[in-house]
């Protein structure tokens, strides 16, 4: 297992799951135990392991990212520009995803919600839950903000109320930099340690991803046969299309508006994008990104050393877009009409969680559990996303890295740097 790259292992696991699904059905037993319940157990164990990380991972990555910005005026200005650029580009990415997922409706097949083909539980059971969370009118927008400021942060974390936790972490990161130096350093060291440990645990859990995929995919196919693939194909196409539009239209326009040459920039960034594609980790790709941005695109080290590491942590256009498409796809598959308020919530949470997501493989899965929790959809639906997750992860990570590099060149330009690709 150890030698083969993870994405190959996962592809093999998917193939194995498909073969198992072809050979057996839901009634098959092994030594008296149903095959379905064995795969269900393996899959759930893997999902639980991912979910276990949510609270510490989200808190520490946001706090470390925001606190890292503190310091002199110079850093403050660069920080404001960087965060501003990254927030706008992620928002644009999410809106493209939102538009395409509403236009193409990948969760609806032949006019019917695809939920039953995907072995999801009865839509009625879910929609009563959803109605409890969402509603109509202005009163519910105030509800979103009320959830953002929970009266008890520990209870919010325990209840999976991530919006409150994210907002609290943002405040914590900002105000941590305003206290005296010594305790601030201690806190930063602590949260850095938590963050790095969480990244390590995530990587460790990902070692079991092939097994998790096998369990979750085999379980789905055993129960549903191949009906599962048709809705997923449309989902796959929707995500790929939206990623392409963002990379080749939106970001190209942004570069043009900044007076830069998009074609030259694509060429300059190719090694970084290919590395991102094969590692599915923007953090892992960072050294290559810095090298390409400095050597090929002509950005100074002063700018790139600040903008790119921050980008690798907080700027994930591809991830934000993917989260939004995935959440709405799942809602469509359950046959739910999402109100404006709920779609607004999804956009907001996708934006905030994409900031909190770590630049490591499959980190979005954790963020999607957050979104589903916020809008009140069952987390089990995430299992089916694993079928296409690895390849989409490779693609969205390339977009994440490309957008980081766009931030670097545009900000370098605004700082009056010469020697850029124009």
Least Å distance between CB 248 and ligand ASP? Answer: 19
Nearer to ligand ASP, 66 or 394 (CB): 394
CB-nearer residue toward ligand ASP: 163 or 243: 243
CB of 276 to ligand ASP, least distance (A): 7
Residue 343 structure tokens:
């779609």
CB nearer to ligand ASP: give 332 or 397: 397
Residue number, 202 or 224, with CB nearest to ligand ASP: 202
What's the min distance (Å) between Cβ of 250 and ligand ASP?
Answer: 18
* Mutual angle of helices 35-52 and 363-375, in 10-degree steps: 90
SS (H, E, C) the chain: CCCCCHHHHHHHHHHHHHHHHHHCCCCCEECCEEHHHHHHHHHHHHHHHHHHCHHHHHHHHHHHHHHCCCCCHHHHHHHHHHHHHHHHHHHHHHHHHHHHHHHHCCCEECCEEHHHHHCCCCHHHHHHHHHHHCCCCHHHHHHHHHHHCCCCHHHHHHCCCHHHHHHHHHHHHHHHCCCCHHHHHHHHHHHHHHHHHHHHHHHHHHHCHHHHHHHHHHHHHHHHHHHHHHHHHHHHHHHHHHHHHHHHHHHHHHHHHCCCCHHHHHHHHHHHHHHHHHHCCHHHHHHHHHHHHHHHCCCCHHHHHHHHHHHHHHCCHHHHHHHHHHHHHHHHHCCCCCCHHHHHHHHHHHHHHHHHCCCCCCHHHHHHHHHHHHHCCCHHHHHHHHHHHHHHHHHHHHHHHHHHHHHHHHHHHHCCCCCCCC
CB of 64 to ligand ASP, least distance (A): 16
Dihedral, CA of residue 173, residue 179, residue 183 and residue 184, to nearest 10: 40
Rg (CA), the chain: 21
Least Å distance between CB 323 and ligand ASP? 8
User: Cα(159)–Cα(337) distance, rounded to whole angstroms?
Assistant: 25
Which residue's CB is nearer to ligand ASP, number 114 or number 232? 232
Q: Which is nearer to ligand ASP, 275 or 304 (CB)?
A: 275
Please, which residue, 247 or 364, has the CB nearer to ligand ASP?
A: 364
Q: Which is nearer to ligand ASP, 126 or 239 (CB)?
A: 239
To ligand ASP, the closest distance from the beta carbon of 29 in angstroms equals: 36
Task: Select 140 or 393, whichever has its Cβ closest to ligand ASP.
Answer: 393
In the complex, the smallest distance separating the C-beta of residue 279 from ligand ASP, rounded to whole angstroms, is: 8
- Least Cβ distance, residue 230 to ligand ASP (angstroms): 24
* Least distance (Å) between residue 150 CB and ligand ASP: 26
Q: What is the C-alpha to C-alpha distance for residues 419 and 422, in angstroms, rounded to an integer?
A: 8
Q: Which of residues 258 and 292 has its CB atom nearest to ligand ASP in the complex?
A: 292
CB of 96 to ligand ASP, least distance (A): 16
Which residues are near ligand ASP by CB under 6 A?
280-282, 316, 319, 357, 359-364, 393, 396-397, 400
């Amino acid at each position: 297992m150890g030698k083969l790259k993870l994405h190959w292992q996962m592809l093999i696991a998917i193939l194995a799951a498909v073969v198992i699904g072809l050979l057996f059905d839901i009634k098959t037993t092994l030594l008296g135990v149903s095959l379905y319940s064995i795969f269900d157990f393996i899959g759930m164990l893997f999902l639980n392991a991912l979910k276990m990380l949510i609270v510490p991972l989200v808190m520490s990555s946001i706090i470390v990212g925001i606190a890292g910005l503190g310091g002199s005026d110079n850093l403050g200005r660069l920080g404001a520009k960087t965060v501003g650029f990254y927030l706008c580009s992620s928002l644009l990415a999410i809106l493209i995803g939102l538009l395409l997922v509403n236009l193409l409706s990948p969760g609806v097949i032949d006019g019917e919600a695809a939920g039953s083909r995907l072995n999801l539980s009865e839509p009625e059971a879910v929609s009563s839950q959803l109605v409890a969370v969402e509603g109509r009118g202005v009163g519910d927008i105030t509800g979103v903000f009320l959830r953002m400021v929970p009266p008890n942060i520990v209870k919010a974390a325990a209840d999976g109320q991530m919006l409150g936790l994210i907002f609290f972490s943002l405040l914590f990161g900002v105000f941590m930099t305003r206290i005296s130096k010594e305790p601030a350093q201690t806190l930063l060291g602590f949260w850095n340690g938590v963050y790095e440990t969480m990244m390590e645990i995530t990587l460790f859990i990902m070692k079991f991803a092939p097994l998790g995929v096998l369990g979750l995919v085999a379980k789905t196919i055993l129960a549903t046969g191949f009906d599962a693939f048709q809705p997923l194909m449309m989902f796959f196409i929707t995500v790929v299309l939206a990623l392409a539009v963002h990379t080749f239209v939106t970001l190209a326009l942004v570069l043009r508006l900044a007076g830069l040459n998009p074609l030259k920039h694509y060429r300059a960034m190719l090694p970084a994008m290919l590395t991102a594609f094969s590692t599915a980790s923007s953090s892992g790709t960072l050294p290559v990104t810095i090298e390409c941005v400095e050597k090929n695109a002509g950005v100074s080290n002063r700018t790139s050393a600040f903008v790119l590491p921050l980008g690798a942590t907080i700027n994930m256009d591809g991830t934000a877009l993917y989260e939004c498409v995935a959440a709405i796809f799942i809602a469509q598959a359950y046959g739910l009409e999402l109100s404006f308020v709920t779609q607004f919530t999804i956009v907001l949470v996708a934006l905030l969680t994409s900031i909190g997501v770590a630049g490591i493989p499959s980190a979005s899965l954790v963020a999607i559990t957050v979104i589903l929790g916020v809008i009140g959809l069952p987390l089990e639906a995430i299992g089916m996303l694993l079928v296409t997750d690895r390849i989409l992860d490779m693609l969205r990570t390339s977009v994440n890295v490309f957008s980081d590099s766009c931030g670097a060149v545009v900000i370098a330009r605004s700082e009056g740097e010469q020697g850029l690709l124009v």
